Structure 1
Amino acid sequence: MVALWGGALVLSILAALFVLWPLWRYRASQSVTGIINIEERLAENVRLFHEHLAELELQLANGRIDQSQFAQLKLEQERALLDDETNIRQMQKTQQMKVGFPTFAIVAMLLVLGAYGLYHEFGSSADVEIRMAHAEKLNLDMLDYQAGRNADPVRTRKLVKLIEARLADNPEQVQYWFFLARMYMELGDFSSATNAYLQVLERDKESPMVMAEAAQAMFLRDGSKVNPAVTDLVEKTLKLEPDNTMALGLAGIDAFGKQDYLTAIKHWGRVVKMNPDSTGAQALTAGIERAAGLFFANGGTQAQLDAVRNGRQVSVNVVLAANLPVAPDQTVFVYARAWQGAKMPLAIARIKVADLPKRVVLTESMAMTDAMTLATVDQIELVARVSEDGSATAKAGDWQGSIGPIDLKSTSDDLQITISEQFAP
């Protein structure tokens, strides 16, 4: 902050010099010019005096005026010359007194004070101070981390005080409420963090990230217990952002507490799939194993668990029609795609002709992209195709069969595809 005000002072001085230097130069030049002009005017008055005196002497010599008149007129000219010189000298003194050093000093002071007042009223010194304190905190926290020490909470408390003071002046600054909430979380003050998050949600009601973090703060505030408010925030978060890992984790905890172990496994498994190498994923994997053990202890079956772990799935018997000109080592692609939608497979499996007939199970984990899976549609078409050259792209000469539409919400276990038709592009 010292650097900020030091810089402001330097800039104010430069601004004062920028304004006053030209005035000072003008004053100095005017002083020199004024002296030159005054001397010229005095010299001109003396010249005119001598001209008038010579004219009076000529009139006296020609007898146009007498000696008494000459003396009187000469005296008047001399007085006029003296009066002009006195007036000119007085004018010079007045001009020099108009803009002197005190005037310049007062103007400079007013300029600096005016700049300070305007910045104090309309500037962002508090924001700058917060940013500087935050940058310093991050740097020192990193040094503590590298040295194997815990970060000093004094720095966080200092930052909290600065943010609170800023919000007291302007409580509508959403970013500072969010920043404050995270600082409270860092200090372990979950009650204050919850209140700060709710302040954010009052001003930004559709942020899934804030909803998830607010739910987490409430959960920790209440001693790691899920209350209806947490459940509501989690549901809203997952509706807006289905892959929010924080909300999925809380949803799994809620389901586990209700002994809905399959739902807990589903939510936690999704988090692990998105971040398999994270520390949190290791903890969730242990939670999944515990939930699976409790599920079996309550009479659950492996088939039910597999269905949850794999997500939405569909099974189909693939049969080859008789007398088709295909070789046993040729590749058979079995896949599901959206009914009357994009042709990209939602799930795909690869087998050999020699394996047929075969029951093939297609699951969400067999998707080519997470954005298009069996979970993203309700109606599908199932296709089985013998590739002549082993390519995944259908070509003339391939043999295939298909069935559809199939409703994934009520699919049966007796689906069958017979490969019997030659593909025509």
Structure 2
Amino acid sequence: MTPLWIAIALLLLPALWLLIAPMRGARVLRDQLDHFEANDTSAEQNVAIFQRRMASLEAARERGDIDDARFNEDRLELERSLLEDTATQAKRPLKAASAGRLVVPLVMVAVVGASTFWYQQNGAEGDLTLYAIQEEIRNDPEGSLMMFLERMEAEAERQPNNPNVWSSLFPLYRDTGQPDKAVDALERLIAIEGRIPPLLAQLAQLRFFMAERELTPEVQALVDETLELDPRQPTVLGLLGIHAFDNGDYETAVDRWRRAVANISDPETAASLRDGIRVAQERMGVAPEPSAAAQGQGVRVSVSLDEALADRVSDDATVFITARDIDGELPPLA
């Protein structure tokens, strides 16, 4: 974690510099303002302008261009204008260059504290800890699966709301023969992430094998909930295929496993399901289909040309076939 905090500190340095930089130039800026105010002649210029306009006004009255009433009116307007200009030029005394220096450290502390608090609430500090544990166990010559499990259990107490803790503990418990703890870890993960099909499917599969491959009411409820959310969920379809196979319903087993293979992404699991399909077909006395023995996924289709188009298309024309999702929601499959 030390490199992380060093990186955070380096990122905070520019922000802190932006807070300090204005204070470094405060003295120079105040001296410049003092010099400007000391040499400001705008008031004298306003008075000179007032005097020239008054002289012009008096000359106009002497020439008879304006009467006394107009003269007094214009003079009052000039005096009012001079007073307004003088009022707007009144300046407050400048503060000392050191004013506000105590506020800067407080703001700096607030910035650092707020940044640290925000990262602890919204950052991935917990996930970095998990990664560090994995690397430590992997690089330890005496590291073992049980050692990793103990460290992850300790992290589960420190980070009970971190889904990555429980998603790591679940397979560890499952692979070390602790199904009850695996169920608890998976249920904790579901409580955090929500009842999404992949997690519900794994829970149904785990409880299915714990019940010695029987569809108990609890398992059936999980299967129904999963299929309602995702009718093509491969884990649940594979589970249903196993149950059908165990009960001698090989046709149903083949159907469920074929649907699972069509939606599964793991090549090894898909290969295992294809092996199961071949065994089920042999027990039915049916020769395995070429598509079942093939390594890749695929479908067989029969294509014919409409009679109305037969005369328009040459014998060597190319025909393009597009496979689409029946609901029209997904991209073309092929």
* Corresponding position of 1:245: 234
Q: CA deviation at 1:162?
A: 4.7
Q: Does 1:14 align with 2:14?
A: yes
Give the letter for the 1:14 counterpart.
Answer: P
Are the structure 2 counterparts of residues 19 and 282 from structure 1 closer, same or farther at C-alpha, using a change threshold of 3 Å?
A: closer
Name the amino acid aligned to 1:258: N
- 1:38-63: CA deviations, max 9, x gaps? x99xxxxxxxxxxxxxxxxxxxxxxx
Gaps of 5+ in 2: 40-92, 291-297, 311-334
- Give the conservation status (yes or no) of the 8 Å contact 1:130–1:159: no
Aligned to 1:395: 307
User: Residue 234 of structure 1 contacts residue 250 of structure 1 at CA under 8 Å; is this kept in 2?
Assistant: no
Cα offset, 1:248, TM superposition: 1.4
* Normalised TM-score (structure 2): 0.53
Shift of 1:133: 4.3
Alignment partners' CA distance in 2, 1:127 and 1:197: 24
TM-score (norm 1): 0.44
Structure 1 residue corresponding to 2:173, chosen from 176, 188, 198: 188
State how far apart, in whole Å, the 2-side matches of 1:188 and 1:288 are: 30
Task: Flag structure 1 segments of 5+ consecutive residues without an equivalent.
Answer: 41-90, 145-149, 297-301, 311-363, 369-390, 399-425
Q: Per-residue deviation at 1:188?
A: 2.4
Map residues 320-399 of structure 1 onto 2, 5 A cutoff: 366-367=300-301, 392-396=304-308
Aligned-partner Cα distance in 2 for 1:276–1:222: 27
Q: In structure 1, the residue corresponding to 2:243 is in which secondary structure?
A: helix
- Give the counterpart of 1:268 among 250, 257, 268: 257
Give matches, 1:26-425, under 5 Å. 26-30=26-30, 95=96, 99=99, 104=101, 106-124=102-120, 127-133=123-129, 158=151, 161-162=154-155, 165-167=158-160, 171=161, 176-177=162-163, 179-189=164-174, 190-199=179-188, 201=190, 207-220=196-209, 226-272=215-261, 278-288=267-277, 290-291=279-280, 302=285, 366-367=300-301, 392-396=304-308
Q: Name the structure 2 match of 1:79.
A: none
Contact residue 166 and residue 188 of structure 2 kept, 8 A: no
CA distance in 2, matches of 1:198, 1:110: 46
Q: Over residues 366-417 of structure 1, what are the superposed CA-to-partner deviations in whole Å (9 max), with x where a residue is unaligned?
A: 446xxxxxxxxxxxxxxxxxxxxxx93223497xxxxxxxxxxxxxxxxxxx
Give, in angstroms, the shift of residue 20 of structure 1.
Answer: 2.5
Query: How far off is 1:247 after superposition?
Result: 0.9
**Post-superposition CA distance 1:235-267 (Å, at most 9, x none):** 332344333221111112222343433322332
Q: d(CA) in 1 for partners of 2:208 and 2:217?
A: 10
Distance 2:234 2:33 in 1: 80
Contact persistence 2:183–2:203 (CA under 8 A): yes
2:24 corresponds in structure 1 to: 24
1:258–1:270 CA distance, 2 compared to 1 (3 A): same
Give SS of 1:392's match.
coil
1:209 Cα deviation after fit:
1.8
Instruction: Pick the structure with more strand per residue.
Output: 1
What does the per-residue CA deviation read over 1:272-316, in whole Å, with 9 as the maximum and x for residues that have no partner? 4666993224433444455556x56xxxxx4xx68x989xxxxxx
Q: 1:226 to 1:397 in 2, by over 3 A?
A: closer
Supply the AA of the counterpart residue of 1:216: Q
Describe the shift of the 1:365–1:125 C-alpha distance in structure 2 as closer, same or farther (beyond 3 A): closer
* Bigger proportion of residues as helix: 2
1:205 Cα deviation from its structure 2 partner: 6.1
Letter in 1 for 2:197: P
- Report the secondary structure of 2:123's partner residue: helix
Residue identity (%): 21
Judging changes above 3 Å, is the alpha-carbon distance between structure 1 residues 191 and 116 closer, same or farther for their aligned structure 2 residues?
Answer: farther
Cα deviation, residue 234, structure 1: 2.1
1:123 aligned counterpart, secondary structure: helix
- Cα deviation, residue 212, structure 1: 0.9
Question: Residues 227 and 181 of structure 1: is their aligned pair in 2 closer, same or farther, counting only changes over 3 Å?
Answer: farther
1:397 and 1:4 mapped to 2: Cα distance? 68
Change (3 A) 1:267 1:258: same
Whether contact under 8 Å (1:160, 1:183) holds in the other structure is: no
Please provide the CA RMSD for this pair.
4.9
Question: Which residue number in structure 2 is paired with residue 374 of structure 1?
Answer: none
Question: Is contact 1:181-1:192 (8 Å) kept?
Answer: no
Give the secondary-structure state (helix, strand or coil) at the position aligned to 2:305.
coil
Matched residues in 2 for 1:243 and 1:309: separation? 22
